[in-house]
Amino acid sequence: MPRLLVLTGVDLEARGLARHLGLDPAPGPAGSHFAGGSFEIVAVGVGAGQLETRVSTVVAPALVVSAGVCGALAPELAAGALVVPEAVLGPDGQRRMTAAVGGARRHGTLLTTDRVLRDAAAKSRCWLQTGALAVDMESAAILDWAASRGWPGLVVRGVSDAAARGVPADLARVVQDDGRVRPMRAISAMLARPGALADAVALRAGTTAALKTVAATLGTLSRAL
118 vs 159: which has the higher pLDDT: 159
Task: Note the pLDDT of residue 129.
Answer: 96
Q: Please write the tens of the pLDDT for every residue from 93-102.
A: 999 999 999 8
Choose the most confident range, by mean pLDDT, from 30-34, 50-54, 109-113, 163-167: 109-113
Model pTM score: 0.93
Task: Note the pLDDT of residue 180.
Answer: 84
> Across the chain, where does the E strand assignment appear?
4-8, 24-25, 33-36, 39-43, 63-72, 82-83, 87-89, 95-97, 109-112, 134-136, 153-161
Task: Note the pLDDT of residue 122.
Answer: 94
Q: How far apart are CA 96 and CA 89, in angstroms?
A: 6
Task: Note the pLDDT of residue 1.
Answer: 46
Reduced to 3 states (helix: H, G, I; strand: E, B; else coil), residue 67 is: strand
Q: Which domains does the chain have, with CATH numbers?
A: 4-224 (3.40.50.1580)
Share of the chain above pLDDT 90, in %: 70
Q: Please write the tens of the pLDDT for every residue from 61-71.
A: 999 999 999 99
Q: Please write the tens of the pLDDT for every residue from 169-216.
A: 888 888 888 878 888 887 887 888 888 888 889 989 999 999 999 999
The answer to whether 156 and 13 have CB atoms below 8 angstroms apart is no
User: Number of C-alpha atoms within 13 angstroms, CB side, residue 218?
Assistant: 36
Task: Note the pLDDT of residue 192.
Answer: 85
Lowest mean pLDDT among 28-37, 123-132, 198-207, 216-225: 28-37
Average the pLDDT over 101-112 and give the result. 93
Would you place residue 28 in the very low, low, confident or very high pLDDT band (cuts 50, 70, 90)?
A: low
Which among 62, 69, 106 is positioned nearest to 84, based on CA atoms?
106
Task: Note the pLDDT of residue 29.
Answer: 59
Average pLDDT, the chain: 92
User: Number of C-alpha atoms within 13 angstroms, CB side, residue 60?
Assistant: 6
185 vs 20: which has the higher pLDDT: 20
